[in-house]
Structure 1
Amino acid sequence: MNAIDLTPLYRSSIGFDRLGSLINHALATESTPNGYPPYSIEVLDENRYAITVAVAGFSQQELDIQVEKGVLTVRGNKNEKDERKYLYQGIANRSFERKFNLADYVEVSGADLSNGLLTIRLVKEIPEAMKPKTIAINQEGEVLEHDAGERNTRTNKVA
């Protein structure tokens, strides 16, 4: 596996230091495909998401959800031995661990277990300090105000 060279990105971008490690980690993870348990990632609206994991046969007590350093980890622990004898067992009944990298400001808002599906709700909450804001520009006795969300520039005379 070759590492991706992100040097052109770093020349003109600031604060994307984590990007290279995220891409390399994703490529390393995908090199060992593990489709268990199956899952879906859904966009509910601009700032809300849901991850649904198929956890048939797991009780709420056997599931664990943790978030640490921007990584959401979902674990299912099967400790008890199944005494049944199967002719065919198509429903996997083994322990698992599935990890999801979360972008900055994405937080877990809750989780539900219903009909064998674990749904984890996520919300992206951008702090006020990160939202666009108006910057005043002083120019020869005039104050020019420009709102990042508007195209018009207003001029206020300074006395």
Structure 2
Amino acid sequence: MRTVLDFSPLHRSSIGFDRVFDLLETAARAPQQDNWPPFDSIKISEDQYRITMALAGFSRDDLKIEIQNNFLTVSGERKADHIGEVLHRGIANRPFTRRFELAEHMQVAGAELRDGLLTIDLKRELPEALKPRVIPIGGAEKLGSERRLLQGQAA
């Protein structure tokens, strides 16, 4: 059963969030993707996140991590297999591609493969122009001199 989401009430009271609404509508319409390999996504702090993927049997050489157009793509394909006849295969070794859409200004801080877990650390790095600034408030004498200067330019 699919739930249809109506964002029209939010459109009335918000401006500039069109991209967010588009993402939510796209996510609601998107077909269910493969759940393999399993992963955890964790918010460590206000600007730090971590993705941990369970990749038993994959080596560093079998994996590829890319970022393009705010999409983090993790793909893998095992190059080496066991020697001999496999009697039972319980450890998946099929190739995979998993994509994560990243918010603006998210950067990959690092990636590590240890004990069958791939850990990708992400950090939000806002440009200086987007960080909050304190605007100093001048006194009446400063405001008056600026007004006289502006009036002089207008004349």
TM-score bracket for this pair, using the shorter chain length: 0.7 to 0.9
Whole-Å separation in 2 of the counterparts to 1:28 and 1:89:
34
| 2:110 match | 110
1:20 maps onto 2:32 in alignment: no
User: Which residue number corresponds to residue 128 of structure 1?
Assistant: 128
Cα distance in 2 between the residues matched to 1:130 and 1:96: 37
Identity of aligned residues (%): 41
Matches within 5 A, 1:9-158: 9-29=10-30, 31-79=31-79, 84-135=84-135, 145=137, 156-158=139-141
Q: Give the match for residue 151 of structure 2.
A: none
Q: TM-score, normalised by structure 1?
A: 0.75
- In 2, the alpha carbon distance for the partners of 1:95 and 1:60 equals 14
Comparing both chains, which one has the higher relative contact order based on Cα–Cα distances under 8 Å and sequence gaps of 6 or more?
2
Structure with more strand by fraction: 1
How large is the RMSD of aligned CA atoms in angstroms? 2.3
Please state whether the residue corresponding to 2:139 is helix, strand or coil: strand
**TM-score, structure 2 as length reference:** 0.77
CA shift, 1:68, in A, is: 1.3
Structure number with larger C-alpha Rg: 2
Question: CA 1:114 to 1:70, structure 2 compared with 1: closer, same or farther past 3 Å?
Answer: same
Amino acid of the structure 1 residue aligned with 2:36: Y
Partner residue in 2 for 1:152: none
1:158 maps to amino acid? E
Q: Which residue of 1 aligns with 2:7?
A: 6
Give the 3 Å change call, closer, same or farther, for CA 115–102 of structure 1 in structure 2.
same
Unaligned runs of 5+ in 2: 143-155
CA–CA distance in 2 between the matches of 1:12 and 1:104?
23
Mean Cα displacement is larger for which, 7-16 or 92-101? 7-16
Q: 1:25 to 1:81 in 2, by over 3 A?
A: farther
Contact 2:77 2:93 in 1 (8 A): no
Give 3-state SS (helix, strand or coil) of 2:26's partner.
helix
- Structure with bigger helix share is 2
Q: Any unmatched runs of 5+ in structure 1?
A: 137-144, 146-154
Q: CA deviation at 1:6?
A: 2.4
CA–CA distance in 2 between the matches of 1:25 and 1:80? 38
Give the C-alpha shift of residue 134 in structure 1. Answer: 2.8
Instruction: Figure out how many residues of one structure are paired with residues of the other and give that number.
Output: 141
